Copies of this chain bind each other. A is one copy, B any other.
Amino acid sequence: MPLPQTEAPGRLQSELMSRGLRMTHQRRTILTVVETAKQHLDAAQILRQARRLDPGIDRVTVYRTLSLLKRHGLIDELDLMHMQGEKHFYERRPQRDHIHMACLRCGKIAEFESDLFDRLKGQIQRECRFHIVVSRLEVGGYCAECRASN
């Protein structure tokens, strides 16, 4: 389930520095891992990948960096319908929100962008007078392949 590689690598780095945060070696490593990830990674996977670049890095630093990135709106946290226990997954925040579809049979995660989704968020903001900062739409069900092979 490859993600669209839409932004130039290094975007997150420069984004953080411009916000006055210290750019440490560890943060650079973790940012690189998140930026170049081809699928949704959980904290343990990010740690493992980061250690291949910097063996001394600690899991605490990974957790702290992820929550920093989340607080600054640079990454999004996903649950993917809790199909893999209580793990959380992370992805670079996209320019345009998308929907995550989790197949309850094969476990595949697909993504989908939709005007209707954008319009729905607009409706919420207007009719509920609610200013949206983050949104997350996850659906669980059965993908086309799994429906066919049954």
Does A42 count as interface, using CB distance less than 8 angstroms?
Answer: no
Whether A123 is near chain B, meaning CB under 8 Å from some CB there, is yes
Given A116-B123, A123-B114, do A137 and B140 touch, yes or no (CB 8 Å)? Answer: no
Q: Are A124 and B140 within 8 A (Cβ)?
A: no
Q: In the assembly, what is the distance between CA of A104 and CA of B134, in Å?
A: 10
Given A129-B144, A130-B101, A147-B129, decide whether A112 and B139 contact each other with a Cβ distance below 8 A: no
Of the listed residues A82, A128, A134, the one surrounded by the most CB atoms of chain B closer than 10 A to its CB is A128
Query: What 11 additional pairs, Cβ within 8 angstroms, besides A77-B82, A81-B134, A129-B144?
Result: A79-B79, A81-B136, A86-B86, A104-B133, A112-B124, A120-B120, A129-B143, A129-B147, A131-B142, A132-B141, A134-B141
8 A-B pairs in the complex with CB atoms less than 8 angstroms apart: A86-B86, A112-B128, A124-B139, A129-B143, A129-B144, A130-B142, A135-B140, A136-B137
